[in-house]
Amino acid sequence: MIEWQPNSWKSLVASQQVPWPDPRAVDLVIEEIKNLPPLVTSGEVATLKVQLAEAARGERFLLHGGDCAESFADCRSASITNQLKILLQMSLVLTHASHKRVIRIGRIAGQYAKPRSAEAEVRDGVALPSFRGDNVNRPEFSESARTPNPQLLLRGYERSALTLNFIRALLDGGFTDLHHPEHWNLDWVAHSPLAEEYKRVVDSIGAGIRFMESLEDRHLDQTQCLDFFTSHECLLLDLESAQTRVVPRRSGWWNLSTHFPWLGARTGKIDGAHVEYLRGIENPIGIKVASDRSPNELVALCERLNPGREAGRISLIHRLGAHQIAALLPAYIDAITRAKIPVLWICDPMHGNTESVIVKSLSGEAISRKTRKFSHILAELEQAFEIHKSKGTVLGGVHFELTGKDVTECVGGARGLAEADLDRAYQSSLDPRLNYEQALEMALLVARRV
Ligand code: PEP
Ligand code: CO
């Protein structure tokens, strides 16, 4: 094996990298980012690794959620607040039901690059480069918008910093919305057959918080420090290695652009550049497990990325689909258990349940929309809990694509969103997300299982 360096991946094949028109312009931007201060600290990253090891043992539960693709336009006060609010509310619901401390990781402050299955997108006979996330190009279908522009990497780094700065300030200042579940937006509950149960849960969360506050005579968030971590897909390797640093009082190299980088399903070749890069950093890492990787290949990958079998280092995020999980997951669990590799098992019930439907747009034309059914998402999760239980392993976390906004991208849920509703507020430029109500309802349903 070659000797690891932050850029040793360059001698290997890197899939999903950007065909930048002017490579020298990219080098200049990368040099600039190398000299900017980091977004997170090695101490935070190390803390998360310890907590993930605890989740793997069933002592904590991980809630990992956010946009499929974050957009620059959403780097604004209301969007960030909504995103943080839904994740914190979901985590309170989960903590309440499970009596476990919940680790919160947002797919935020850097989720600006996406893998794409096709290099080009064709519309009416015109082919243009695919949209690869706001770090690379823009979603509008025009030559200028789709031409990769390295200046966007800098804009993305700055927006990540702005986002994190605001999140840290909100958490420091106490997030008052959290203390009064009676002010949460719960109108949808009336539509659920579980309305009574939900009301009881939310009331008792409120009562619990007020009780704690009266005991301590201060706000809950000061008595129980609200940790929040960030993650994004480790995709653009020039960018990731530019933010990979050594720090004064710790050994090793740390990716200080995020706490938790994850390896996507399209870039996970064991001999590929992404695995080479991730092998050498100290961060805890997530691995997406899709059906195209065999159980033995998964074991080999875990051994490559975690030869010392360090607890907390690897999280396996399976995304197999509601129709396939029962057939496929047991063999992965058996292989990892046999190899005695400590991992945190996480279920991503989103990516195996994506489908396209033809809907009528607001202007009347028929267009194709990607969507996911709430019932399929829930079905995959429920099976995941059962399968792990029957195997004696722990499902220690969930990974959702969601937003705190009132979008219409996934169908189903208590409000009964239908395909005909999709175009009312379909905002995602990539994968469909659970909206505020669907996300909170999902948390209430998952909470019964944790
Ligand atoms: C994602 O999480 O948005 C993603 C692209 O996932 P996967 O690699 O599992 O398809
Ligand atoms: Co996605």
Cα dihedral sign, 7-8-10-16: negative
Ligand 2 midpoint to CA 139 (Å): 15
pTM (predicted TM-score): 0.95
Whether 232 is in the pocket of ligand 1, judged by its Cβ within 6 Å, is: no
Whether 199 maps to a domain, the answer reads: no
What pLDDT score does 216 carry?
A: 67
pLDDT at residue 383 tops 80:
yes
Whether 288 is in the pocket of ligand 1, judged by its Cβ within 6 Å, is: yes
Whether 28 maps to a domain, the answer reads: yes
Q: Mean pLDDT across the stretch 390-417?
A: 96
What pLDDT score does 218 carry?
A: 60
Distances from the Cα of 420 to the Cα of 295, 359, 362, 374, 405, angstroms: 40, 6, 10, 15, 19
What pLDDT score does 77 carry?
A: 94
Q: What is the rounded distance in angstroms from the CA atom of residue 274 to the CA atom of residue 10?
A: 10
Ligand 1 midpoint to CA 168 (Å): 27
Q: What is the rounded distance in angstroms from the CA atom of residue 72 to the CA atom of residue 69?
A: 10
Contact criterion met (CB below 8 Å) for 32 and 242: no
Whether 202 maps to a domain, the answer reads: no
Whether 319 is in the pocket of ligand 1, judged by its Cβ within 6 Å, is: yes
Maximum mean pLDDT: which of 86-100, 181-195, 238-252:
238-252
- Report the number of distinct structural domains present in the chain: 1
Structure tokens that stand for 286 in this block: 């997530």
Q: Over the stretch 426-437, which tens digit does the pLDDT of each residue have?
A: 999 899 999 999
Q: Mean pLDDT across the stretch 392-407?
A: 96
Q: Mean pLDDT across the stretch 6-24?
A: 97
Closest CA to 245 of 281, 286, 284, 285: 281
Residues 6 or more apart in contact with residue 102 via CB below 8 angstroms: 60, 61, 62, 63, 91, 94, 95
Q: How many percent of the chain have pLDDT more than 70? A: 97
Ligand 1 midpoint to CA 323 (Å): 18
Distances from the Cα of 321 to the Cα of 77, 233, 240, 317, 356, angstroms: 34, 20, 30, 12, 15
What pLDDT score does 416 carry?
A: 92
pLDDT at residue 223 tops 50:
no
What pLDDT score does 198 carry?
A: 83
Tell which one of 288, 292, 370, 433 to mutate to probe ligand 1, the residue whose CB is within 8 A of the most ligand atoms.
Answer: 288
Whether 64 is in the pocket of ligand 1, judged by its Cβ within 6 Å, is: no
Q: Which ligand is nearest to the CA of 352?
A: 1
Q: Over the stretch 272-313, which tens digit does the pLDDT of each residue have?
A: 999 999 999 999 999 999 999 999 999 999 999 999 999 999
Whether 217 maps to a domain, the answer reads: no
Closest CA to 335 of 326, 343, 347, 325: 343
Cα-flanking dihedrals φ and ψ of residue 401, to 5°?
-100, 115
Whether 389 maps to a domain, the answer reads: yes
Whether 54 maps to a domain, the answer reads: yes
Closest CA to 200 of 444, 446, 10, 432: 444
How many of the other CB atoms lie within 10 Å of CB of 206?
A: 17
Contact criterion met (CB below 8 Å) for 64 and 231: yes
Ligand 2 midpoint to CA 233 (Å): 10
Whether 272 maps to a domain, the answer reads: yes
Q: Mean pLDDT across the stretch 179-206?
A: 82
Tell which one of 233, 348, 399 to mutate to probe ligand 1, the residue whose CB is within 8 A of the most ligand atoms.
Answer: 233
Q: Over the stretch 106-162, which tens digit does the pLDDT of each residue have?
A: 999 999 999 999 999 999 999 999 999 999 999 999 999 999 999 999 999 999 999
Whether 351 is in the pocket of ligand 1, judged by its Cβ within 6 Å, is: yes
What pLDDT score does 45 carry?
A: 98
Read off the pLDDT band of 217 (50, 70, 90).
low
What pLDDT score does 111 carry?
A: 98
Torsion of CA 113, 117, 122, 126, to 10 degrees: 60
CB within 5 A of ion ligand 2: which residues? 68, 431
Whether 264 is in the pocket of ligand 1, judged by its Cβ within 6 Å, is: yes
Q: How many percent of the chain have pLDDT more than 90? A: 82
Whether 42 maps to a domain, the answer reads: yes
Q: Over the stretch 337-358, which tens digit does the pLDDT of each residue have?
A: 999 999 999 999 999 999 999 9
Whether 318 is in the pocket of ligand 1, judged by its Cβ within 6 Å, is: no
Q: What is the rounded distance in angstroms from the CA atom of residue 445 to the CA atom of residue 380?
A: 13
Domain range spanning residue 106?
8-176+226-449
Q: Which ligand is nearest to the CA of 321?
A: 1
Residues 6 or more apart in contact with residue 443 via CB below 8 angstroms: 63, 89, 90, 91, 93, 94
- Which residue, chain included where needed, has tokens 């000797």? 3
CATH number for position 389: 3.20.20.70
Residues 6 or more apart in contact with residue 97 via CB below 8 angstroms: 201, 447, 448, 450
